[in-house]
Structure 1
Amino acid sequence: MTHKVRTSKPKDIFAGGSNKGAIIPEQLLHYTIALLSVALALGVTMLLRPYLSATPSALFFAAVMVSAWYGGFAPGLLATILSTLVVNYLFLQPLYPQYITHRDILVRLAVFMITAGLIIWLNESRRTAQKIAEANLKSLRQSEARFGRLVESNIIGIIMADLNGSIIEANDAFLQMVNYTREDLRSGRIRWGEITPPQYLEVSERAIQELRISGSCKPFEQEYIRKDGSLIPTLLGFVKQEETIIGFVLDLSERQAALRDRNQVEAALRESEARFRHLADTAPVLVWMSGTDKLCYYFNKPWLEFTGRTLEQEMGNGWAENIHEDDFHDSLDRYINAFDARQDFKMEYRFRRNDSEYRWVLDTGVPRFTPSGEFLGYIGSCVDIHDRKVAEAALQQLNEMLEQRIQERTLQLEVANKELESFSYSVSHDLRAPLRHIAGFIELLQKRHNSTSTLDEISQRYLRIIAETAKQAGILIDELLTFSRMGRTEMRYINLNMEHLVQEIKRDLISQTPGRTINWHIESVPFVQGDPSMLRLVLCNLIGNAVKYTRTRNPAEITIGSTDNENEVVFFIEDNGVGFNMQYVHKLFGVFQRLHSDQQFEGTGVGLANVQRIIHRHNGQVWAEAVVDSGATFYFSLPKLSKKEGNERT
């Protein structure tokens, strides 16, 4: 059937008939139009020669375009050659034709011929696209005609419904089966749920679910409730077309009646098979069937139209020749394994279409059995999923590209951070020497002053300010050196007793704050895995801040404790100090960011930045909450590590 259709297509191209004699006059007309177009361009150019002296070839482009548009490649080429000769001998060098090899003339002729050739190529592409569009339109009309004949058939019942189960259209064959009228259909009295017996609702729902996933379902038997309450047995199959469900219904009542006699049974089976083949040939999916020997013996019309091959070529294992070589072995193994296990299967592979393009298809197969359980082979269907696969591949490529960009940006950021840390370390280190000189000379001046008493009170105050400023600058440089080292120091993870560490820091701070009344509330805190020197610096900064910012409180209240969950331990340091405005909480952990002046509370603005860097290197988080004049609470979290992770990080 496929080859007969193809051999008849060339005849349809020519409206005048199929004999060769009808083609020749039409070809002569094409060449005649080409000659007339060039002649017309020559005549108009001669008339307008004073105005076209700079571009004498302009109208000949129109002649080439008309020839190629109407006649195609050969007439367009003829017009190009004639136009080139006319332009050269009549307009470029009309008096001295022997100078045809002059460079300027050759360049102008070459530009003309290239442009004319481009015009011919564009027109030929347009004609080819037009032929393809006409062929596709013809195929679509044939498909619509086949479907129309199927709908008008009085053998197969057809139902169309939405996804909610409301029947929106049915042909006369189905209405006769269930004994309803078209007025009943228009009034909405026919619904699948109302004409389906309860014992078949589950089977019908499974078929609908299969339909929503794969676009079709395997045929199954069920009964319908007729208008008079009687039941009619049917063979039912669904396919989905966008948001519409199309059901194909075969009346099996005659087959059941014929079961009384063996000959009638065999005749009914043959008729049912013929009807099924008719149904399969009109379904918008590729259907195949195989026997118990794994070899395929049936393919429906859409399959043959898709591959452009005959049934004889596809029989047995012939259909597998269309599978892409990269997918062949995997697909064959899946088919054989499922066949041997008598199991359903789904697989995706690239399948060659009749235009030699490989398209991704979803192949679904299910085993067939007789009522007594005898295995009959497989039935399956293929659905074109190429557009979906192409979209998935494009999305994967985009994700890979984004991942690569993230890695590149991360590497650039790491390099920049290392350079910044190195620069900070170098600057801080180089500043220490001159500060030591300043501090040394101030000390010498103070000693000399004490021995000679030659400086007045203002000069003495200046010396004290310089000494304190130099000392503060030294502290700041030490803080910066510590901050820069935090990014380069190698982490050393051990099991750390945080409670002992808190007690040690508390003793140090008590010795540094004589005369103050501080009430310490230290709860039991757990062991953690981390770097001991770094976490000691974190606690020193946070507990030290609590002591510093409760200086105006008597007594000061400081609470240290923790909470934990499945993944992390959260520590907190709470005080009743001066607190801060939460509007500026984002500045707390930045370098040189302070919420109080030096006159109120001394500091460098580097300590909390160090805390954040250390906690982030431990893969934790740090944050704070406060109320002005009502105290503050600082939190930091540390992830719980397994013993294996702790050993790997040590």
Structure 2
Amino acid sequence: MTRTAAQRIAALFNDRFASRFVALGAAAFATVLVPYLLTRSWSDEALEAEHWARHTAEVSDSTSQLMFHLRNMEAATYGLLAGVQAPSLRTRYDSSRAAVDPLLERIRSMTRDNAEQQVRIGQVKATLDQRLPYLDAAVTQTDPAERAASLGQLERMLNEGSVGDVVGELAAAEDRLLIERTRHAARQRDNVRWLQTLSLVAQLLLLGGIAWVAERALRRRRVAEHRSSDADTRSRAIVDSVREPIALLDGGLRVVMHNTAFVEFYGEPDAGPQGDLRELGGGAWHDPTLAQRLVDVVTRDREIWDYELRQRTVDGVQRQVLVNAKRIALPDDTDTAVLLTVNDVTPQKLAERQALELNRQLEGKVAQISEVNRELEAFSYSVSHDLRAPLRHIAGFAEKLRGHLDPSVLDDERARHYLDVISSSAARMAVLIDDLLLYSRLGRHAMRVHAVDMDKLVREVREMLSSSRAEGRIEWRIDALPTVPGDETMLRQVWQNLLSNAIKYSSQREVAKIEIGYRLDGAMHQFRVRDNGVGFDMEYAGKLFGVFQRLHKASEFPGSGIGLANVRRIVSRHGGRVWADAEIGNGASFHFTLPVRQDHSANARDVTTENTQ
């Protein structure tokens, strides 16, 4: 029922054969039409060239007339000024004078297509505008002395250059145009004759080409028919190699073609190639909903996409499959055909159930850890509050004791040392409690996310911290920093902790150098704080961000050991991470990242990640 490879190749061949004959027909038409059009076009051009040749001849004739009248006027004026008593001189002058302006205007009109000639005509016009008034006045003079003076001036004028020279150039240019246009007309006539000859040769070649193409097409068709059986075999092998069951059904849902995988799943149809689909697989297809949907595919041209069905196949295995069906049109048959494919998703379904179970277990573990974290935070918050009152009592009574002791006792260095230790230890414990409370609050308070100008924030923190260093000076190098989404109060705490550490651990340098860098790394903003302080051993870098973890003695550098833990907690709640690298004696660099787009679920982010890092 399907179209065989031979039929497909034959159809392809017919399409190519027809297209080639259409192309040959078009070429034959072109060999007749194109020469005709070119012949007509070149004939028109030849006629036009002859017209322009006549036009040039007319311009040359008018130029010659203009030259004659100008020379006639000059000769008549010369004779009159020289005292020749001949009435015909004045008549000649008047006649030529009346003809000059119309001739000049006619030449100007006829040469409007030639810019060079227009320039020459303009020169002639300008020269005549100067000389004609003089000539008009000269021919009317009667006084002998004035005539003699005018005669001398006329001779000088003629010696300086005659207007006939410019007119001569005008005439010479027209003569050249006449020769060129005459030659062009001759070439066009020759082109027409050559085109007619070539078109005849092309038509003869085209007829020979048509005969050759027809013979070659028939030979190639015979070769294609010989290859069709091999192509059909290859196509069948490709379909059989697909591991998904594929079947072609007719309008009565009978299997008319299938691949090997279909037989492995449902067995060979008992009735041969026309077996009913519903009788295959020992009832695997006895699903009323699917049966109705298959009928809709046949009768209403609907489609079935990923219909999930549980089947027991002929190998006795219970499978979860996805059924797809679509009505298709077969070019070699008018009957309805349905393409049916089956996708075995049993392994995927098992994996999905296992993943759901693992997710359920993980959610339970997360809930337990979250509860433990909340209890730990509540405990630390309660302990911190409960320790404040005893500390205040210790510090207060130590001061009262200092005031009640006899001055002679305070003179004792040991006694004074004991009191100082009590007071300083109480003050240090108060700082630790405050830092612990801050750490607890950072895990409990909701984030207020909005746009934070990091450049402005760093400037404010820098100004506040720079004033705390009494000795030495600080060189700052700060890159341009972006605006990021986040909690401004928390991010201020991050910068305050990192910059105060940079100032503190570079305080022993004569000039402290602190660099604040930035770069965009994909979907994350990456910030860096680098100093030239004492640095630390990277072997102990894992302790840096723990609570009450210090890599230097308190006597060398004061601090509670909670600042970097706060930094990690804040950065983690924003969806970023923090790390450090350093070298002993060469300073340290602290890096942290923040997402370009803030996840609004950050307010509900648990501190589990921080406590398990």
Q: Into which bin does the TM-score normalised by the smaller protein fall?
A: 0.5 to 0.7
% identical aligned pairs: 34
Q: Is the 1:479–1:606 Cα contact (8 Å) retained in structure 2? A: yes
CA-CA distance at 1:513 after TM superposition: 1.4
Give the residue type in structure 1 aligned to 2:242. I
State the partner residue of 1:333. 293
1:322 is matched with which residue: 267, 272, 283? 283
Q: 1:375 aligns with which of 334, 337, 353?
A: 334
SS of aligned partner of 1:375: coil
Query: How much has 1:382 moved relative to structure 2?
Result: 7.7
Q: CA–CA distance in 2 between the matches of 1:520 and 1:485? A: 32
The unaligned stretches of length 5 or more in structure 1 are: 1-195, 218-286
Report the counterpart of residue 397 of structure 1 in structure 2. Answer: 353
**8 Å contact kept, 2:581–2:590:** yes
Counterpart of 2:431?
A: 475
Say yes or no: does 1:626 pair with 2:582. Answer: yes
| Partner Cα distance (1:554, 1:578) in 2 | 13
In structure 2, list runs of 5 or more residues that go unmatched.
1-224, 606-613
- Tell me which residue corresponds to 2:597: 641
CA distance in 1, matches of 2:545, 2:249: 71
RMSD, matched Cα: 4.4
1:446 corresponds, among 402, 406, 410, to 402
Deviation at 1:315, TM superposition (A): 5.0
Secondary structure at the counterpart of residue 636 of structure 1: strand
> 1:100: which partner in 2?
none
Deviation at 1:460, TM superposition (A): 0.8
Residue 402 of structure 1 and its aligned partner are, at CA, apart by 0.4
Q: Match of 1:436?
A: 392
Quick one: which amino acid aligns to residue 461 of structure 1? H
Task: Name the structure with the higher helix share.
Answer: 2
Tell me the equivalent position of 2:555: 599
Of the candidates 434, 457, 462, which is equivalent to residue 506 of structure 1? Answer: 462
Give 2:372's aligned residue: 416
User: Does the 8 Å contact 2:304/2:323 carry over to 1?
Assistant: no
CA contact under 8 A between 2:580 and 2:589: conserved in structure 1?
Answer: yes
| Cα deviation, residue 434, structure 1 | 0.6
Alignment partners' CA distance in 2, 1:510 and 1:481:
26
Specify the alignment match of 1:495 in structure 2: 451
Cα 1:407–1:370 shift into 2, 3 Å? closer
* Cross-structure match for 1:230: none
Structure 2 counterpart SS, 1:505: helix
Deviations 1:324-354 (A, max 9, x none): 67x5424642563377559998866344668
1:481 corresponds to which letter in structure 2? L
Instruction: Identify if the C-alpha distance between structure 1 residues 400 and 335 changes in structure 2 by more than 3 Å, giving closer, same or farther.
Output: farther
Contact 1:323–1:349 (8 Å) recurs in 2 = no
Aligned to 1:462: 418
* Alignment-mate amino acid for residue 508 of structure 1: M
For 1:401 and 1:479, locate their aligned partners in 2 and report how far apart those are by CA, in whole Å. 41
2:280 is the alignment partner of 1:296: no
Distance 1:484 1:367, change over 3 A: closer
Q: 1:209 to 1:586 in 2, by over 3 A?
A: farther
SS in 2 for 1:394: helix
Residues 40-439 of structure 1: matches in 2 within 5 Å? 207-214=236-243, 289-291=249-251, 294-296=252-254, 322=283, 328-330=288-290, 332-333=292-293, 336-337=296-297, 341=301, 349-351=309-311, 373-378=332-337, 389-439=345-395
Cα distance change, pair 333–484 in 1 and its aligned pair in 2 (3 A): same
Structure number with greater Rg is 2
Q: What corresponds to 2:487 in structure 1?
A: 531
Deviation at 1:602, TM superposition (A): 1.4
Shift of 1:212: 3.3
Distance in structure 1 (CA, Å) of the matches to 2:349 and 2:277: 33
CA contact (8 A) 1:290 1:298 kept: yes
Shift of 1:321: 10
Shift of 1:476: 0.6
- Stretch of structure 1 that moved more, 403-412 or 525-534: 525-534
Q: State whether residues 308 and 353 of structure 1, in contact with CA within 8 Å, keep that contact through their aligned partners in structure 2.
A: no
Distance in 1 of aligned mates of 2:330 and 2:371: 71
* Cα deviation digits, residues 283-319 of structure 1 (max 9, x gap): xxxx67424xx443869997999599889x9759777
Question: Which of residues 537, 557, 578 in structure 2 aligns to 1:581?
Answer: 537
Distance 1:564 1:474 in 2: 40
Question: Using CA pairs below 8 Å that are at least 6 residues apart, which structure has the higher relative contact order?
Answer: 2
Q: Distance in 2 between matches of 1:201 and 1:625?
A: 68
Task: State the secondary structure of the residue aligned to 1:214.
Answer: coil
